[in-house]
Amino acid sequence: ILKRQQYMVGKHCRCLEKVRSARSPFNIIKDQNIFICDEMEDIRGLCCGDNGGMLVCNNWLRGVATTLFNYESRSYNYCVPWGDKASECGDNTTLSVFTDLCYFSDWLSRHIPDYTYVDEQCLRVKARSITCDSE
């Protein structure tokens, strides 16, 4: 069952800073444009089992759900119980992380026949907030 939720998506550099500041395995990532994160203002973010789901911005596939990161548990695998419980979906202590397909668009067009990714936002990826739907 596809779910639909509207997100405010954070700036790339701010997203990476949040993930790195929590001393996660993402510290090895050097490129700040590889991830898109939600702003943690919504009560619900990604849910356990959503990895691989799509992030659609302005009717274009923009990202792939990658992981949840919980600040309280300092865990990048929030679906594993922490304390007495595991959350079914993100909350205001959980960061939803998506891999930004704009970063990989050249590789995708070289390896996937008839792949035409011309999302205007990919052509001029800027460090600014965009509104996206997660499905």
The CATH number given to whatever domain includes residue 36 is: 2.40.10
Residue 47's pLDDT is 76
| Structural domain that includes position 120 | 5-134
The pair of structure tokens assigned to 18 is: 């949040």
Which portions of the chain are predicted below pLDDT 70?
1-35, 37-44, 58, 70-92, 116-135
Residue 85's pLDDT is 57
Residue 65's pLDDT is 81
For the stretch 23-32, contacts whose Cβ atoms lie closer than 8 Å and that sit 24 or more positions apart, written own/partner, are 23/74, 24/69, 24/74, 24/76, 25/76, 26/69, 26/76, 26/97, 31/103
Residue 104's pLDDT is 79
Instruction: State how far the alpha carbon of 129 is from the alpha carbons of 24, 36, 38, 53, 78, in Å.
Output: 23, 10, 10, 20, 25
Q: In what order do the strands lie in the sheet with 94-100?
A: 5-9, 130-134, 54-57, 60-70, 94-100, 35-37
Residue 94's pLDDT is 73
Give the number of domains in the chain: 1
Locate the DSSP E strands across 28-81.
35-37, 54-57, 60-70
Residue 73's pLDDT is 62
Q: How far apart are CA 77 and CA 67, in angstroms?
A: 7
